[in-house]
Amino acid sequence: MIEFQQVFGSRKKGKYGLFSNIRYCMQCAYENDKKLFYYQFIVVIPMVAASYLGTLIPSEVVRALQGQWDVTHMVWYICLLTGIMLICNMIVQGMGTYVSNCSSLLPVYLSKRCFRKMMLMDYNLLEGEEEQKVIGNAWRALRNGYNFTLACSSFPMCISAILAIIFYGFIIGSKSITLVLLMMFSVISSMKLLSLARKKHKEYHAKLSRHAKEAAYISRQAVESSAGKDIRVYQMLDWFIKKYDEALENMNSIFASIHSWYFLRSVSDAIIGFLVDMLAWGYLIWLLVHNELTVAEFVLYLGLTSGFTSYLETLIRQAMQLEPMSVELSSLREFLEIESPWGDNEEEKESFRTDGAVTVELKNVSYTYPGNEKPTLANINLTIRAGEKLALLGLNGAGKTTLVKLICGFYQPTEGEILVNGKPITSYNRESYYQMLSVLFQDTTLLPVTLDMNITGQSPQEIDREKLSWALSMSGFEEKYNSLPEKGETLLVREVNDSALDYSGGEKQKLLFARALYKDSQLMLLDEPTAALDPIAENALYQNFSEATQGRTSIYISHRLSSTRFCDRIILLENGSIIEEGTHETLMLAKGRYAELFELQGKYYKEQEEYRKRSEIMGDSYVEDESGKEGIFNE
């Protein structure tokens, strides 16, 4: 099979000029639809041939009349030329229709590449300021995907225009070099003006990112229910609208500046084109008057000069359509070529294979968020043994969640390395590495599909019902699951499905815990899994968690120190460093920072229990907030 490089040459990484972007666009067309790719080249030949025949036929009619040809011979000759021109036009129409229809799939192909890149990017790249600008520009380019569709139609038009200009120019130059020089002046002037407009386009386009990001954020917050409460309570509507108007006004100002340069180029080009046409036609008339051209030749050269000018205008017009595509494709390429610290050569990496628990080792691991001077984690040395239950404790901001993301491979350490079963995380194939992880994050997302699919990620035919029942039982979600009329077929996310159900924070955490258990992975990480549960449900989940993770390496992250007695070992983080390590008993006997924090939290929970007892004695209704941390009395 002929590869793209054999047809169109190799692509050098990092070249974002117009011709490089056209080549890249053609490569994408080749990968998406080879027939579409080849048609863009093949259609050029009949396109130029039909145009030239349309110019030649009037001249041939005049030549036949001047030569007093036999009428039958003349009619057959003209019919032959007309027939060839008709066939060429039919080929152009057929191929052009295919190119026009199928080119609409090119933005979809580019979107799929961007979605895949987004899903495989290291998580820390999604949070960097520079990377966010690049990502924002890429998604804005995808929203304007019509420009990529136009590129497939514009490319053959540009090629045909270039060939016609060369062909017509050669014929005209054989008669008069003066006419060719006039045309060359027109071409050079137009390209210089276009180059200036392109330069200004790029300069202004770079300023759009910040304002587009602001507008996108406001739009997103305006439709999310989580922000709706704050907007109403704090009367932020007018402020949101004002900020949105400011962002749109700034964007419109930048777009106006871009279009003003293209307008200046268009006006200048029209004036130059008019002067060149007047001089060319005047020169041809002078040659005719002085008998240096026959009438047939005059008609031919008049058509050639007119066609030359027309093709020149077509080339410039199509180049103008390619320019926005080039700017936006540059944004896409910059995004797609972001290098991941994990690496993108997945097929060359080792697959993670193990049936038992895994060992995780952190060697001198430090991590500093982009833009921060102080590290969130500093010089962490920790070995988590196979099958061990490790509790990772600390107050807010201690670095617990960051450490989880490092172990998951979402972040790469600023210093040091993380080994799993003795090998660096990045030495494994990313997909196989993720398969051995089960994680319950603080911030999670439910998909707008059925409950069973949210828990298992599988179709109804693929679900292991016995494992699902076990996961539901151990997570504490079984009772709620069985109480639903449609059980596992219940739809979630009401924003998408009108008949969907929404769950409280505690129920959602149980559901997500069931998801983590069903995956049945060798390494399990739970990041604050009981933040929305009351103490009774919390204690039950801990017991189930201890039982469910037998034989698996598990890491439990919490700021509640009383929740980790079932763990084999406790690590206390503070200010990004490990300050204490041991079992609950040994740490309490040491009377250090852990014991101090434990006593403070214990005092708080004792007060909460007293409130409960008072409510029972007084007959009041005790109400807990969603977090289960505070109580009030309703009289």
Tokens of residue 257, six digits = 């500046």
Task: Encode pLDDT of 342-366 as tens digits.
Answer: 765 666 677 777 767 889 999 999 9
**Gap between the Cα atoms of 585 and 594, Å rounded:** 11
Mean pLDDT of the chain: 80
pLDDT reading at 63 higher than 60? yes
**Gap between the Cα atoms of 310 and 165, Å rounded:** 9
Residue 625: what pLDDT? Answer: 42
Among the ranges given (207-211, 257-261, 451-455), the one the predictor scored with the smallest mean pLDDT: 207-211
- Single-letter amino acid code for the residue at 234: Y
CA-to-CA separations, 274 to 279, 281, 514, in angstroms, rounded: 9, 11, 74
Task: Encode pLDDT of 225-279 as tens digits.
Answer: 767 777 777 777 888 888 888 888 888 888 888 888 888 878 887 787 788 777 8
Region of 332 on the Ramachandran plot (φ > 0 left; ψ -120 to 50 alpha; else beta): alpha
Q: Are 565 and 602 in contact (CB under 8 A)?
A: no
Residue 350: what pLDDT? Answer: 75
Residue 242: what pLDDT? Answer: 86
Question: Is residue 124 packed enough to be buried (19+ CB in 10 Å), middle (13-18) or exposed (0-12)?
Answer: buried
Q: Report, in angstroms and rounded to the nearest whole number, the Rg of the chain calculated over CA atoms.
A: 35
Residue 14: what pLDDT? Answer: 42
468-497: string of b/e by CB count within 10 Å (b at 16+)? bebbbbbbbbbebbeeeeeebebbbeeeee
Task: Encode pLDDT of 561-581 as tens digits.
Answer: 666 777 889 999 888 899 999
Torsions phi, psi for 623 (to 5 deg): -120, 130
Which is more confidently placed, 340 or 105? 105
Tokens 């004695």 identify what position? Answer: 617
Helix ranges (DSSP H) in 337-415: 400-408
Share above pLDDT 90 across residues of the chain, in percent, rounded to a whole number: 7
pLDDT reading at 2 higher than 70? no
Residue 12: what pLDDT? Answer: 43
What does pTM read for this prediction? 0.61
Kindly report each contact of residues 96-100 with a partner whose C-beta sits within 8 Å and lies 24 or more positions away, as own/partner: 96/43, 96/153, 96/156, 98/35, 98/36, 98/39, 99/36, 99/39, 99/40, 99/43, 99/152, 99/153, 99/156, 100/152, 100/153
Q: How confident is the model at residue 135 (pLDDT cuts 50, 70, 90)?
A: confident
**Gap between the Cα atoms of 294 and 285, Å rounded:** 11
Among the ranges given (56-70, 189-203, 365-379, 423-437), the one the predictor scored with the smallest mean pLDDT: 189-203
Tokens of residue 326, six digits = 């080039």
Tokens of residue 632, six digits = 């009030």
Q: Which domains does the chain have, with CATH numbers?
A: 4-336 (1.20.1560.10), 341-436+522-601 (3.40.50.300), 445-520 (3.40.50.300)
**Gap between the Cα atoms of 84 and 54, Å rounded:** 10
Number of helical (H) and strand (E) elements in the chain, helices listed first:
23, 12
Give, as one character, the DSSP assignment of residue 93.
H
Task: Encode pLDDT of 39-49 as tens digits.
Answer: 888 888 998 89
Residue 85: what pLDDT? Answer: 92
Residue 142: what pLDDT? Answer: 81
Crossing angle of helices 295-336 and 146-175, in 10° steps, is: 150
pLDDT reading at 410 higher than 70? yes
Which is more confidently placed, 351 or 80? 80
- Positive or negative CA dihedral for 228, 232, 233, 237? positive
For residue 569, list its beta bridge partners. Answer: 390
**Gap between the Cα atoms of 48 and 357, Å rounded:** 69
pLDDT reading at 191 higher than 70? yes
Q: Please give the sequence-ordered ranges of beta strands (E in DSSP) within 388-513, or none if there are none.
A: 389-393, 415-420, 423-424, 437-440
CA-to-CA separations, 601 to 168, 394, 555, in angstroms, rounded: 88, 12, 22
Element (H, E) at 449: none
Residue 7: what pLDDT? Answer: 40
Task: Encode pLDDT of 592-635 as tens digits.
Answer: 888 888 887 766 555 555 555 555 555 544 444 444 443 332 32
**Gap between the Cα atoms of 372 and 431, Å rounded:** 30
**Gap between the Cα atoms of 244 and 233, Å rounded:** 20
Q: What is the mean pLDDT of residues 304-320?
A: 78
Among the ranges given (273-277, 470-474, 514-518), the one the predictor scored with the smallest mean pLDDT: 273-277
Range with the largest mean pLDDT of 71-80, 133-142, 214-223, 272-281: 71-80
Tokens of residue 609, six digits = 């229990």
Q: What is the mean pLDDT of residues 179-192?
A: 76
Instruction: State whether residue 439 is helix, strand or coil.
Output: strand
pLDDT reading at 292 higher than 50? yes
Total residues found in the chain within this entry: 635
Q: How many CA within 13 A on the CB side of residue 613?
A: 6
Instruction: State whether residue 492 is helix, strand or coil.
Output: strand
**Gap between the Cα atoms of 67 and 343, Å rounded:** 74
What is the dihedral angle through the alpha carbons of 283, 287, 293, 296, rounded to the nearest 10 degrees? 50
Among the ranges given (14-28, 279-293, 350-364), the one the predictor scored with the smallest mean pLDDT: 14-28
**Sequence-ordered list of residues with C-beta below 8 angstroms from that of 157, at least 6 positions apart, any chain:** 314, 318
Element (H, E) at 219: helix 208-223
pLDDT reading at 136 higher than 70? yes
Q: How confident is the model at residue 146 (pLDDT cuts 50, 70, 90)?
A: low
**Gap between the Cα atoms of 476 and 482, Å rounded:** 11
Tokens 């491979």 identify what position? Answer: 409
